[in-house]
Amino acid sequence: MNELIEWYLKPLKQYVDFDGRARRKEYWIFLLGNILISIILGGAGFAIGGGSEFLSSLFSLFVFIPSIAVGVRRLHDIGRSGWWYLIGLVPVIGFFVLLYFFLLEGDSAANEYGPNPKAI
């Protein structure tokens, strides 16, 4: 459990770091953690009454830039430029292209964005 929390906090500590590479594990734990926390905050807001989306929205705002940064570093891990992240703006197809990229295994050797994060 402690390891999962460390993997979740890693992108928050590098919240504006768009350089380097991020492993699949780092990206997916961060994404799934954000989804889980949003669900919990949405439920808590609903239980409190009134602003059910307020807590969840505030949290989404808090993790917006770290989410983009870890996504860019994840693209770097497969040897792609961070500008590929913008393909997500293309309806439907962009989502599936990014999903495919984020599921790919990273380059096993160093690439132009840095050394293999698994080797560090």
According to the model, what pLDDT value does residue 51 have?
Answer: 63
List, for residues 31-79, the tens digit of each pLDDT value.
999 999 988 888 887 777 766 677 888 899 999 999 999 999 999 999 9
Q: What is the pLDDT of residues 88-99, one digit of tens each?
A: 999 999 999 999
Q: Which of 92, 70, 54, 90 is nearest to 19 (CA)?
A: 70
Q: Would you list the domain boundaries of the chain?
A: 2-103
The first and second tokens of residue 7, run together, are: 């993997």
More confidently predicted of 58 and 101: 101
Nearest to 84 by CA among 95, 93, 75: 75
Alpha carbon distance 51, 65 (integer Å): 24
Residue 52: predicted pLDDT: 62
